[in-house]
A and B are shown apart, each in its own frame.
With several copies, the nearest count.
Chain A
Amino acid sequence: MIDDRIEILATDLSWDEAVKSVSDGRAGGIDVFLGTTRAEKAADGRDLIALDYEAYEQMALDQMKALAARAREKWPIVKIAMLHRVGRVLIGEPSVVIAVSTPHRADAFEACRFLIDELKKDIAIWKKEVWSDGSASWVHPGQGQGARGEGQEE
């Protein structure tokens, strides 16, 4: 039975819970990635104060489950946890937590990296930048908007 933990949450993400949920005696290594809101200052002096996340939840959860299944085809994974926030994520707080346990560490690193890279490509989730002057703008990669947060710049 695959008991991966895949959730979209409106409350603070618990990386502690994520690690516990993938801990397993069959695993020798666990890799955990947290994507966090990075402080930014716009050219005109405004400060980023938060990212607001919105999800098409039913679709995003289906996509995250399919993504976990793809990772399982590529690496000998013991357990996966993928948690994503919706709502406001303040500077320094995590918007996404991915944890992967595997028998050997190389696979944990590779699978975790794959999961966050792919999650950013086509999962139905969007972020909006919220600035200190009250302005806000959606982040849509490639639209020439100022890219902020972990995801846009890589």
Chain B
Amino acid sequence: MQVTARFFAILKDRAGVAELILELPAGATVTSAIELIVKQFPAIQSDLKRAAFAVNRNYTNTDLVLSDGDELALIPPVSGG
């Protein structure tokens, strides 16, 4: 299945990527998707520790099982306003 990963702010800068499409096995969780991403972009590892995650634009915990077509966002600590 395919899941779109989106990077923002410092994570986007560190990865040098704003968006990519992951090919994942059925049953993959947010955690397994993140592990795959870290392998490809080790530069984001330390900043990821403080990141939150959203699937389809809602904050989620990392146990969530992903579905084909999901949008997974890597959310560094926010600083709007």
Q: Check A138/B10 contact, CB under 8 A, given A56-B73, A62-B57, A124-B54.
A: yes
Q: Is the CB of B9 within 8 A of A143?
A: no
* Segment 35-71 of A: residues with Cβ below 8 Å from B: 35, 53-56, 58-60, 62
Range for the number of chain B residues in contact with chain A: 10 to 19
Q: Is the CB of B9 within 8 A of A138?
A: yes
Q: Check A54/B81 contact, CB under 8 A, given A62-B57, A124-B75, A126-B76.
A: no
Which of B8, B57, B73, B79 has the most chain A CB atoms closer than 10 A to its own CB? B79
Q: Is the CB of A59 within 8 A of B54?
A: yes
Q: Check A142/B50 contact, CB under 8 A, given A56-B73, A60-B80.
A: yes
Q: Is the CB of B8 within 8 A of A124?
A: yes
Q: Is the CB of B80 within 8 A of A138?
A: no
Q: Is the CB of A35 within 8 A of B50?
A: no
Pick the contact of B50: A54, A119, A121, A143 (CB < 8 A).
Answer: A143
Q: Is the CB of A123 within 8 A of B80?
A: yes
Main secondary structure, interface of A, reads mixed
Whether B23 is near chain A, meaning CB under 8 Å from some CB there, is: no
**Known contacts A124-B73, A149-B81; 10 further A-B pairs (Cβ under 8 A):** A54-B8, A54-B12, A119-B81, A120-B79, A123-B80, A125-B78, A126-B9, A126-B76, A126-B78, A141-B79
**Residues on B close to A: CB < 8 A?**
6, 8-10, 12-13, 50, 54, 57-59, 73, 75-81
**Residues on A close to B: CB < 8 A?**
35, 53-56, 58-60, 62, 84, 95-96, 116, 119-128, 138-143, 149-152
